[in-house]
Structure 1
Amino acid sequence: MAPAPRQYDETDVRIRPGRRSSRPRTKIRPEHTDAEPAMVVAVDRGRWTCIPDSARPGDLDALVVAMRARELGRTPIVVGDRVGLVGDQSGGSDALARIIRVDERTSVLRRTADDNDAYERIVVANAEQLVIVAALADPPPSVGFVDRALVAAYAGGLRPLLCLTKADLADTQPTADPAVVAAGWHELDLPIVVTRFDRPPDEMREVLAGRVSALIGHSGVGKSTLVNALVPDAARAVGRVSGVGKGRHTSSSAVAIPLPGGGWVVDTPGVRSFGLAHVSATEVVSAFADLAAAITDCPRGCGHLGPPADPECALDALVASGGVSAGRLAALRRVLVALAAPSWS
């Protein structure tokens, strides 16, 4: 005879303990008034290498690896950002601090993959100047790229500086005369430094000293050669900065390298294109103190290019009244044309 089926009651029901703590959560976060101010010098796979303000200038042994605190969520943190650190800042191989604050940025170098990409990438934050590196020969200078880089500098609040490299190769090529190449930007008061492989970059070293400067340029223009001349042990410095913890420097990331005389140079990867989908013509013009007030009289949607595209642009009236030279406006408008040019030009 088969056994009778088992009868179940409440004692057979297993109650799984709750995973949540019964302790009420609070939205009050600590103020971290003792957080150590620092600058981010490298970023790699969810880890940020930082140099505390309390460290001696250029002391790479004081580098700290940090993670982003939970309360920051997905707040983007890039090279050059000023942050607040708490936690283990000993710099040991197993030490890991936390970034609990990202300070307001004074400038941003931004780009998109191309002009149709709505996703904006912040390459460097808080740089004082943008060094646009272009070769005078091998390869020949890309005027379009320089113009687009100028647009990014003006819109992001960085002081642009043009560095023309390989002047030693240009000696035998009259078309690569630095004065001829730079003539188009003369009216924009763009500082220009010329370097040669066979001479130390003393002038460039002087303009970089004590500042945070970002370098950008096409591959092959001599940017790495310039960095190596400015920082004799640049290879070791890059490895030390971005090799802390489990990170490593790759061609797809920027890294800040300390200069022997003080200051930092942020070496960015060589770029094939420089998208400007995030920039408007008004942002660019607003960077010029002698032009910014005039464009308030422009009609809505004015691209500030003048006739026939913008027949009512107020900048033309400013030239007619003698408020600005025609050459300066022409130079600016040539840069503005870069906004409509392909991003790989």
Structure 2
Amino acid sequence: MTDGTGSWWATDDDDDDEEYGDYDESSVRTRPNPKGNRPRSKQRPEHADAAIARVLGVDRGRYTVLVDEDTPGERQSIAARASELRRQAIVTGDRVAVVGDVTGEEGTLGRIVRIEPRTTLLRRSADDTDEVERVIVANADQMLIVVAAANPEPRTRLVDRYLVAAFDAGIAPMLCVTKTDLADPAPFLENFAGLDLPVFTSREDAIPVAEIKAVLVGHDTVVVGHSGVGKSTLVNAIVPGAKRATGHVNEVTGRGRHTSSSTVSLRVDDEEGRHGWVIDTPGVRSFGLGHVSTDSILKAFTDLAEIAEDCPRGCTHLPDAPDCAIVEAVEEGRLGETGRARLDSLQRLLTTLA
């Protein structure tokens, strides 16, 4: 302290250092979080009381879900994704756990807090060089590939790609050829003669609704196809009231116009009261397989995969592959008239991925 003249003089307070000890930086009090938030924990609530629902469709961050499926209290509700799931894709066909208001009343919103284990995942990439996979549909066990006999012309290579994606995902493929009143589908179907592939044919005035429904009940079936092949028309016939938009093929380019812009699940019922689910997807003009391995491609060609068991280890099955059993079988004519086309399709896909 000072004596008023500016000089310092000692007091008993100089002994405070002995009372309180020496201070260092570790003694400084840490300021609390200004927001008052507690540190984030990795533990999340289990939400044991959450309702299990089926995702029917996705629209701008909102999910239409079916709660209490196949019960008297079945109802549709709208839900948003919980923040902890922001990096996980939630797609049509998913089974999810939903909390909050799931009454389905107007203005209500639930919250998806968990994705239940998936049985299958149908994926695609932007192109064959893109390894980033995009999940299209979850939990489908069948794929109905729709192709037109004409207008637009059937694309064998695109169907091959669908087959590869189906076998890679563990999904059983089927084929439906529409517009058979415009062209004979037999030459096109010969390309798949070696596959155990159920085939349906359809024309404008005769859609085999009952026949197709018979294989859809009890299953979740994803419907895929090139734009303009009549996929939405087929779905509307199978599911009355579906009201999927339909379009026409451009007479100049021969291409179909994209009509369905979203993937949606639709319930299909038969005359005996049984039901299944049809998952309609937007029409595409390409289907990238950048995420698929060469082994998965070979699985799609079941007739060739059986012969490949006699190939030497590490065989690429390409034209320059030495002692390839598939190439030898084709050259010897053991695979019939379609053998060359089947091998060519396989090699084109293998070369693209390589």
| TM-score, scaled relative to structure 1 | 0.76
> Which of residues 161, 173, 180 is equivalent to 2:187?
180
The answer on 1:90 being equivalent to 2:103 is: yes
- Specify the alignment match of 2:55 in structure 1: 40
- Specify the alignment match of 1:4 in structure 2: none
Change in Cα spacing, 1:251 to 1:284, as seen in structure 2 (3 Å) is: same
Change in Cα spacing, 1:208 to 1:22, as seen in structure 2 (3 Å) is: closer
- Specify the alignment match of 2:196 in structure 1: 189
SS of 2:146's equivalent?
strand
Change in Cα spacing, 1:99 to 1:232, as seen in structure 2 (3 Å) is: same
Q: Structure 1 stretches of 5 or more lacking a match?
A: 1-15, 171-175, 238-249
> Which of residues 195, 205, 211 is equivalent to 1:198?
205
CA root-mean-square deviation: 3.2
Change in Cα spacing, 1:304 to 1:228, as seen in structure 2 (3 Å) is: same
Deviation at 1:180? 2.6
Change in Cα spacing, 1:103 to 1:137, as seen in structure 2 (3 Å) is: same
Q: Which has the higher contact order (CA 8 A, sep 6+)?
A: 1
Contact 2:207-2:234 within 8 A present in 1 as well: no
Amino acid paired to 1:127? A
> Which of residues 324, 339, 346 is equivalent to 1:336?
346
Deviation at 1:312? 4.7
Deviation at 1:314? 6.3
For 1:76 and 1:91, locate their aligned partners in 2 and report how far apart those are by CA, in whole Å: 23
SS of 1:264's equivalent?
strand
Contact 1:67-1:99 within 8 A present in 2 as well: yes
- Specify the alignment match of 1:246 in structure 2: none
Change in Cα spacing, 1:65 to 1:214, as seen in structure 2 (3 Å) is: same
Contact 1:151-1:336 within 8 A present in 2 as well: no
- Specify the alignment match of 2:320 in structure 1: 309
Contact 1:129-1:212 within 8 A present in 2 as well: yes
- 1:106-136 superposed Cα distances (whole Å, 9 cap, x missing partner): 2222111222223211111111111111011
Contact 2:297-2:349 within 8 A present in 1 as well: no
- Specify the alignment match of 2:265 in structure 1: 256
For 2:50 and 2:44, locate their aligned partners in 1 and report how far apart those are by CA, in whole Å: 14
- Specify the alignment match of 1:152 in structure 2: 165
For 1:316 and 1:147, locate their aligned partners in 2 and report how far apart those are by CA, in whole Å: 19
The answer on 1:272 being equivalent to 2:280 is: no
Change in Cα spacing, 1:290 to 1:123, as seen in structure 2 (3 Å) is: same
Amino acid paired to 1:20? K
For 2:34 and 2:307, locate their aligned partners in 1 and report how far apart those are by CA, in whole Å: 61
- Specify the alignment match of 2:27 in structure 1: none
SS of 1:37's equivalent?
strand
Deviation at 1:163? 0.4
For 1:81 and 1:332, locate their aligned partners in 2 and report how far apart those are by CA, in whole Å: 34
For 2:180 and 2:75, locate their aligned partners in 1 and report how far apart those are by CA, in whole Å: 38
Amino acid paired to 2:88? T
Aligned length: 300
Change in Cα spacing, 1:198 to 1:251, as seen in structure 2 (3 Å) is: closer
Change in Cα spacing, 1:22 to 1:40, as seen in structure 2 (3 Å) is: closer
Amino acid paired to 1:187? G
SS of 1:51's equivalent?
strand
For 2:244 and 2:188, locate their aligned partners in 1 and report how far apart those are by CA, in whole Å: 35
Deviation at 1:200? 3.6
For 1:290 and 1:184, locate their aligned partners in 2 and report how far apart those are by CA, in whole Å: 13
- Specify the alignment match of 2:11 in structure 1: none
Change in Cα spacing, 1:111 to 1:26, as seen in structure 2 (3 Å) is: closer
Deviation at 1:207? 1.5
- Specify the alignment match of 1:13 in structure 2: none
The structure with the largest alpha-carbon Rg is 2
SS of 2:269's equivalent?
coil
> Which of residues 208, 225, 229 is equivalent to 2:233?
225
Contact 1:135-1:222 within 8 A present in 2 as well: yes
SS of 2:278's equivalent?
strand
For 2:322 and 2:108, locate their aligned partners in 1 and report how far apart those are by CA, in whole Å: 62
- Specify the alignment match of 1:212 in structure 2: 220
SS of 1:188's equivalent?
coil
Change in Cα spacing, 1:342 to 1:90, as seen in structure 2 (3 Å) is: same
